Amino acid sequence: MCAHVVIAEDDEKQAELLRRYLEREGHAVTVTGDGLAALDAVRQREPDLLVLDVMMPRADGLDVVRVLRAEHRELPVLMLTARSTEDDLLLGLDLGADDYVTKPYSPRELMARVRTLLRRSRRTGGGGSAAAVPDPGVLVVGTLRVDPPRHVVTVDGTEVECTPGEFRILAALAAEPDRVFSRQQLLAELHGFDRYISDRTVDVHVMNLRKKIEPAPRRPVRLLTVFGVGYKLTDPAKAAARASS
């Protein structure tokens, strides 16, 4: 599975190590040393994956993610961070990153994360050159429509922008309306079973999804919390009808 990967890392030794590991697996690699150069590389080359250090000159990794998502670019982003607090890590996910690895990291662990993101990108048609899979059908829950092949979400006929992580959670919920998913089950949709990822990752994605699909995010009627268990997606019209019958 050959892909084009952009590395944005200002530590030359780390960048060279990453380049060697990626090229060993057959990937084409572009290395940049600052945030603005990373943005230019993504815009010009349309890569399949961006491996992005948080602390960089000219523009840091968080700013790079903000700009890319504002430009509606859906390529997977794997962040590298020396920041160890959970809030710092969740901020990157909140901005639209797909995964993160905390420094110091094992190159083998990082490459496992790279392979996972590339596989998921090819299944959903994300990234620069990945091919879309055959249309498995649009998922419909009331006036919410989730179109996996096109990576499109509409609510009441209006398209809303979702990050890749948000989209994976929403698609899993929409595939089985009214089923309650635990946080661990939704984490498996995001990252597989990974002891390094916190349950709060799911909560951040759900909070952001509610801002996009709910008429009143603080009083959700679609994406509901089942206290002590997890989350479910429901059709508010059907739920109201059931309640009144």
Report pLDDT digits (tens) over 107-138: 888 888 888 788 766 655 555 433 333 344 68
Is the pLDDT at 197 greater than 60, yes or no? no
* pLDDT for position 29: 94
pTM > 0.75: no
**Assigned fold of 139-244:** Arc Repressor Mutant, subunit A (1.10.10)
Tens of pLDDT along 23-54?
A: 998 999 999 999 999 999 999 989 999 999 98
- What pLDDT band is residue 177 in, cutting at 50, 70 and 90? very high
Sheet holding 144-147, edge to edge: 139-141, 144-147, 152-155, 158-160
Is the pLDDT at 226 greater than 90, yes or no? yes
* pLDDT for position 1: 59
Is the pLDDT at 192 greater than 90, yes or no? no
> By three-state DSSP, how is residue 66 classified?
helix
Task: Delimit the domains of the chain by residue range.
Answer: 4-124, 139-244
* 201 or 53, higher pLDDT: 53
Q: Cα dihedral sign for 206, 211, 212, 215? A: positive
The percentage of residues in the chain with a pLDDT greater than 90, rounded to a whole number, is: 40
Range of lowest pLDDT (9-13, 35-39, 141-145, 182-186): 182-186
DSSP 134: P
* pLDDT for position 194: 43
To the nearest whole number, what is the mean pLDDT of the chain?
83
> By three-state DSSP, how is residue 54 classified?
coil
* pLDDT for position 41: 94
The rounded distance, in Å, linking the Cα atoms of 177 and 222 is 10
Is the pLDDT at 231 greater than 90, yes or no? yes
The rounded distance, in Å, linking the Cα atoms of 172 and 139 is 10
Strands (E) in the chain, as ranges, are: 4-8, 28-32, 49-53, 77-81, 99-102, 139-141, 144-147, 152-155, 158-160, 181-182, 223-226, 230-233
* pLDDT for position 101: 83
Is the pLDDT at 196 greater than 50, yes or no? no
Backbone phi, then psi, for 126, in 5-degree steps? -80, 180
What is the mean predicted confidence (pLDDT) over 174-185?
91
Q: Which CATH number fits domain 4-124: 3.30.460.20, 1.10.3720.10, 3.40.50.2300, 3.40.50.1260?
A: 3.40.50.2300
What is the mean predicted confidence (pLDDT) over 98-102?
81
Question: 């596989």: which residue's tokens?
Answer: 119
From the list 129, 211, 225, the residue with the least C-alpha distance to 163 is: 211
